[in-house]
């Protein structure tokens, strides 16, 4: 019964006009914004939602009307059997995309940056932005961004007047690049790290999708998820440090799909030197490393990764191993003794909140069992393509986020994007197989 309903639902979704799919996504985004206004405890999130709900609703209504009109113009039988991915991105869809891009992403971002420069800074920015900016300023003056530590259970080397958690730098060294503009003698509305996060994200995503050979409809969905839906718009307007990480991962996997393991490895090296959240997909991407002749070449990809990430990360680790480990490993995992703002009420956090003694047990148990299950899967069913590697990484990240004792619900942007990319790469593989069969 469930399988039959699932098949029927899948068939119905496949029969949608592209504009009808847009309408569903924009309507769901509007609903998310409404729920955020009603339920979120963060003023910053509610501000974004109040700005974004109008553009989402307008785009949903207009997309639905366009889709309905086109459905009446095209016979249903022809619509169901034609190759949907070959459809061009029509001018009305582009116009609506731009409406939402400005209304839900760029304008809220601009206003939040402006409001931050005019009044209460903490009310218009997430803590990670300030942390990255502080690290950028220290790096620009030749100082180590990793300075806060814990001694005898107490934090030391904190910044006077700032929350203890803002003194810790839970990112890898290359993330400091996004904070370098804050060291300039310029207004904060020009140096806010969110501006750099957003600019780099948009440029890298557009470059990656230009290189991708997937059907256009899948590329459009990927672009929407990475730029205008709440999976990107909310993050870019309020914090955004995960977005360039996701963008570079997309570029790396597109290069892997194009069978450019060396270049893919270099990009993976860049993103692996930014944040640990890039490592699961970077590791699994090695299974999808193939050259133009189809031969597996994980060594070439791994070499590209090490050539870039090694010289960036190693000096900081060697300089002060204890402080580095406290900042980038213990603090994000909630093991440093300093409370992290990354504490969304997901399963792992709820468990350790109710039973604090489970914190270490949960981490060890999840790590051992999860590692064993993953190793068994890799031995029996190793991913053989970019699609399979990305899909497996999505499941790994999803489970890890749910059971981690200190995590953000915003980290779900990783598995959500990975699932979308897996579908895009799978559609490309199927299209290539069909072309070979017809040749």
CB atoms within 10 A of CB 405: 25
> Do the Cβ atoms of 349 and 355 come closer than 8 Å?
no
Is residue 79 over pLDDT 60? no
Helix-strand-coil percent breakdown of the chain, rounded to 5?
A: 75, 0, 25
Torsion of CA 252, 144, 185, 273, to 10 degrees: 0
Lowest mean pLDDT among 26-30, 163-167, 179-183, 385-389: 163-167
Average pLDDT (134-160) is 82
Is residue 164 over pLDDT 80? no
Is residue 69 over pLDDT 90? no
Average pLDDT (157-184) is 85
pLDDT for residue 384: 92
Only one residue has tokens 């249903």, namely 76
CA dist., res. 261 & res. 267, Å (int): 10
pLDDT for residue 353: 63
Average pLDDT (19-30) is 95
Is residue 43 over pLDDT 80? yes
Average pLDDT (326-342) is 76
Phi and psi dihedrals of 340, rounded to 5? Answer: -95, 145
Percent of the chain with pLDDT strictly greater than 70 = 82
CA dist., res. 352 & res. 338, Å (int): 15
Average pLDDT (331-352) is 66
Distance of CA 319 to the CA centre of its chain: 30
Is residue 268 over pLDDT 80? yes
pLDDT for residue 156: 74
Pairing label, strands 154-156, 149-151: antiparallel
CA dist., res. 125 & res. 142, Å (int): 26
Q: Which residue has the higher pLDDT, 5 or 437?
A: 437
Q: Between the CA of residue 232 and those of 39, 100, 193, 242, 244, what are the distances in Å?
A: 19, 12, 16, 9, 10
**106, β-bridge pairs:** none
Q: Which residue from 278, 279, 266 is spatially nearest to 308, judged by alpha carbons?
A: 266
Q: Between the CA of residue 215 and those of 65, 219, 307, 421, what are the distances in Å?
A: 24, 7, 33, 12
Handedness of CA 63, 65, 71, 74 (dihedral sign): negative
Strands in 75-187 per DSSP E:
149-151, 154-156
DSSP state of 75: -
Locate all alpha helices (DSSP H) within 228-357, ordered by sequence.
230-238, 242-257, 261-272, 279-285, 298-319, 321-325, 347-354
Confidence grade of residue 2 (pLDDT, cut at 50, 70, 90): very low
DSSP state of 159: P
pLDDT for residue 120: 67
Confidence grade of residue 416 (pLDDT, cut at 50, 70, 90): very high
Q: Which residue from 331, 329, 361 is spatially nearest to 348, judged by alpha carbons?
A: 361
Please compute, for residue 210, the number of CA atoms within 13 A of its CA located in the half-sphere on the CB side. Answer: 6
Q: Per residue in 193-244, pLDDT tens?
A: 999 999 999 999 999 999 999 999 999 999 999 999 999 999 999 988 999 9
> Do the Cβ atoms of 111 and 51 come closer than 8 Å?
yes
CB atoms within 10 A of CB 276: 15
Phi and psi dihedrals of 253, rounded to 5? Answer: -75, -30
Is residue 169 over pLDDT 80? yes
Confidence grade of residue 352 (pLDDT, cut at 50, 70, 90): low
Is residue 362 over pLDDT 80? no
Mean pLDDT across the chain: 86
Q: Per residue in 85-131, pLDDT tens?
A: 445 678 899 999 999 999 999 999 999 999 998 876 667 889 899 99
CA dist., res. 62 & res. 71, Å (int): 14
Q: Which residue has the higher pLDDT, 395 or 163?
A: 395
Is residue 136 over pLDDT 50? yes
pLDDT for residue 86: 45
Instruction: Say whether 150 sits in a helix, a strand or coil.
Output: strand
Tokens linked to 61: 């209504």
CA dist., res. 159 & res. 395, Å (int): 38
Instruction: Say whether 320 sits in a helix, a strand or coil.
Output: coil
């Amino acid at each position: 019964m469930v399988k039959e309903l699932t098949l029927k639902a899948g068939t119905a979704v496949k029969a949608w006009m592209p504009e009808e799919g847009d309408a569903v996504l924009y309507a769901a985004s509007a609903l998310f914004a409404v729920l955020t206004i009603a339920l979120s405890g963060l003023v910053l999130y509610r501000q974004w939602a109040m700005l974004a709900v109008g553009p989402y609703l307008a785009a949903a209504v207009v997309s639905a009307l366009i889709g309905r009109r086109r459905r009446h113009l095209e016979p249903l039988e022809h619509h169901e059997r034609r190759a949907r991915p070959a459809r061009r991105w029509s001018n009305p869809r582009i116009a609506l995309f731009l409406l939402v891009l400005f209304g839900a992403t760029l304008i809220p971002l601009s206003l939040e940056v402006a409001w931050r420069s005019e009044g209460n800074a903490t009310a218009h920015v997430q803590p990670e932005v300030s942390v990255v900016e502080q690290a950028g300023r220290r790096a620009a003056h030749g100082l180590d961004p990793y300075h806060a530590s814990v001694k005898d259970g107490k934090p030391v080397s904190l910044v006077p007047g700032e929350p203890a958690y803002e003194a810790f730098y839970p990112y890898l060294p290359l993330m400091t690049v996004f904070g370098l503009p804050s060291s300039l003698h310029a207004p904060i509305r020009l140096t806010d790290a969110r501006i750099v996060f957003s600019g780099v994200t948009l440029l890298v995503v557009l470059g990656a999708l230009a290189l991708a050979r997937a059907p256009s409809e899948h590329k459009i969905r990927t672009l929407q998820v990475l730029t205008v839906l709440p999976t990107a718009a909310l993050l870019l307007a309020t914090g955004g440090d995960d977005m360039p990480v996701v963008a570079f991962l997309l570029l790396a996997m597109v290069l892997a799909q194009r069978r450019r393991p060396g270049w893919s490895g270099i990009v993976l090296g860049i993103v692996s030197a930014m944040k640990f959240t890039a490592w699961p997909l970077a590791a699994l991407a090695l299974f999808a490393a193939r050259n133009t002749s189809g031969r597996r070449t994980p060594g070439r990809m791994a070499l590209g990764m090490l050539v870039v990430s090694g010289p960036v990360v190693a000096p900081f680790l060697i300089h002060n191993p204890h402080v580095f480990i406290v900042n980038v490993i213990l603090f994000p995992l909630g093991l440093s003794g300093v409370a992290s703002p990354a504490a969304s009420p997901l399963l792992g956090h709820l468990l350790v909140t109710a039973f604090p003694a489970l914190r270490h047990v949960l981490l060890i148990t999840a790590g051992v069992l999860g590692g064993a299950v993953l190793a068994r899967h890799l031995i029996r069913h190793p991913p053989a393509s970019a699609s399979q590697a990305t899909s497996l990484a999505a499941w790994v990240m999803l489970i890890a986020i749910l059971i981690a004792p200190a995590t953000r619900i915003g980290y779900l942007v990783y598995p959500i994007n990975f699932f979308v990319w897996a579908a895009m790469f799978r559609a490309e593989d199927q299209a290539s197989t069909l072309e070979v069969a017809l040749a």
